[in-house]
Amino acid sequence: MNVVVAEHAGVCYGVERALRLASEAASSGNAVRTLGPLIHNPQAVEKLRERGVGVARSLDEVTGGTLVIRSHGVDPAVIAAARERGLEVVDATCPFVSTAQRHAAELKEQGYAVVIVGEADHPEVEGIVAHAGGDAVVVESAASLPERLPSRRVGVVVQTTQTAERLQEVVAALLPRTNELRVFNTICSATAKRQKAARELARAVDVVVVVGGHNSGNTTRLAEICREENDRVYHIETPEEIDPAWFAGVEVVGVTAGASTPSDQIAQVVAAIERIGDG
């Protein structure tokens, strides 16, 4: 049984940067907390906890030391409040997320009604909404656009881990309903590369294993993309979730991973599949 890893898989620059910043903060000797999980990967978050980097559910739980802003970003008011409390703030917001935040703020300032393509309850989207003034319209698809738009001057940004197809669908639905439509494609290049590579992989193999947090939006979307091309797709976090029955009669297994999945986790899954094949 042959195991093939997607050309683009695993941690992106933004995640690597966030992990590095949190690790450096842990070495400073201060008490360190992240505001929410730093990234959507439970195993990586647990490793940070073992190094002394805790997770706070709210700012009220952080009484001193260093606060690390998660890669998904936050409401700018949260950072201001943390600094007012005397906390040392390390901003690990992904640069692509920061770009989406900045464009949302600019669109609001220029008088556009802001539409955000993404998941309303995702922390990244919540942060983008805050930068857009709090009254942005969040849609997951063209079907969820409201019957009445706040204005016929509309500006669009997109959650960094969404698909280009989803963005195009929403933009196509908005075009006949607007006098002016300004669109910022804020999907990050790493996401686009991973999605394209996952689709190509799924077409070429018998089974696909997608590695990454079950709470990771970008990993979940990789699994969805793979299922559009292949009926045998499994989303797991660790090798312990693997069922050997998945590979009965299989010649080629494809492995891909979300942008919040460290390389050692991918290697562990690949090794586990290879042991099944050797058995």
150: left (phi over 0), alpha (psi -120 to 50) or beta: alpha
237: left (phi over 0), alpha (psi -120 to 50) or beta: alpha
Report the number of secondary-structure helices (H) and strands (E) in the chain. Answer: 9, 12
3-state SS assignment for residue 160: coil
Cα separation of the two ends of the chain = 10
Q: Are 228 and 199 in contact (CB under 8 A)?
A: yes
Tokens representing 139?
A: 């849609």
**Alpha helix positions (H), 178-262:** 189-204, 217-229
Q: Could you tell me how many residues make up the chain?
A: 279
Strands 53-56 and 88-91: unpaired
Task: Give Cβ neighbours of residue 173 (< 8 Å, ≥ 6 apart).
Answer: 142, 145
Closest by CA to 167, choosing from 139, 195, 147, 148, is: 139
Tokens representing 82?
A: 């943390």
Catalytic residue, chosen from 46, 88, 106, 124, is: 124
Longest pairwise C-alpha distance within the chain = 64
Tokens representing 190?
A: 């790493």
Q: Are 258 and 6 in contact (CB under 8 A)?
A: no
Q: Is 124 a catalytic residue?
A: yes
Give catalytic residue positions: 124
